[in-house]
Amino acid sequence: MEINADFSRRVAIHAARLPWVASPMAGVERRMLDRIGDEVARATSIVRYLPGSHFSPHTHGGGEELLVLDGVFEDEHGDFPVGSYVRNPPTSRHTPGSTPGCVLLVKLWQFDPMDRREVRVNTAGMTYVPDAARPGVNHLPLFHDDGEDVRLEQWSIGASIALDMPGGAELLVLDGGFEEGGESFERLSWLRLPAGSVLRATAGSHGCRLWMKTGHLLKLRGVAPAGKEPT
């Protein structure tokens, strides 16, 4: 299966308007944003766990990155409420689920194969820092290495955003919205810009809060999926 697998192209998906598609695990549904592979895949998805649902124990051969968008995500490492950012590196193992239910942004098989760093950040109550180079923008760092930068950003009402993306970018709207390329982006809208792009956007009448990853599309990370890791 291939969905938005040409990473040289701009892609915009308004995920809140998409139907939920059942996964092989009862009670777990998804909205696919990009994908290369079948049930084991390099994938970016919005995933919903219905109350009381869970996956079987499994190892992440290619790593897993997630952001909790709603509810509480759970595994043997703890409970992760809205705003939690988690990186489970290659070779990590867990049994994910949710007692109350949850919605997640999930990225699979997109790590450096040698990465072994575990990251668990609860952003609730954390302070956003003004960006000195971009008026009207505050940011909250989540992760950074030589190949990518991940952060949350707040854009003030009507803020004009112009940002070079030499390594490409992905943006997911968490609250509010923005205009880009003649298109309106709302909560759960996802935009992927290829390497060498320039982001030109204007925050909406309520401002915008978003998750942003940059740099990672200059040289696509990870290896071809293999094994039986659920997605």
- Asked if the model's pLDDT at residue 227 lies above 50, the reply is no
Q: What is the mean pLDDT of the chain?
A: 93
Residues 103-156 have pLDDT tens digits of: 999 999 999 889 999 999 999 989 999 999 999 999 999 999 999 999 999 999
What is the reported pTM?
0.94
What one-character-per-residue DSSP string does 11-54 give?
EEEEGGGSPPEE-SSTTEEEEEEEEEESSSEEEEEEEEEPTTEE
For the cut 60, the answer to whether the pLDDT of residue 226 exceeds it is no
Residue 87 resides in a domain: yes
CATH number for the domain spanning 52: value is 2.60.120.10
Is residue 229 scored above 70 in pLDDT?
Answer: no
Is there a contact between 75 and 96 (Cβ–Cβ < 8 Å)?
A: yes
CA–CA dist 125, 104 (Å, integer) = 19
Q: Is residue 69 part of a domain?
A: yes
In a domain, 228, yes or no: no
Full residue range of the structural domain in which residue 91 is found: 17-114
Expressed in angstroms, the distance from the first to the final Cα of the chain is 13
Q: Is residue 192 part of a domain?
A: no
Tell me, yes or no, whether 31 lies in a domain.
yes
What whole-number percentage of the chain has pLDDT above 90?
A: 85
- In the numeric block, which tokens belong to residue 175? 């609250």
Largest CA distance in the chain: 47
The tens digit of pLDDT for each residue in 41-75 reads 899 999 999 999 998 888 888 999 999 999 999 99
Distances (CA, A) of 138 to 130, 156, 197: 4, 8, 22
> What is the tally of structural domains in the chain?
1
Q: Residue 150: which H helix or E strand, with range? A: strand 149-155
Specify if 37 maps to a domain: yes
Confirm whether 131 is domain-assigned.
no
- Judge whether 30 and 45 are in contact, CB under 8 Å: yes
Give the mean model confidence (pLDDT) for residues 202-214: 98
d(C-alpha 29, C-alpha 21), whole Å: 5
Is 165 part of any domain?
no
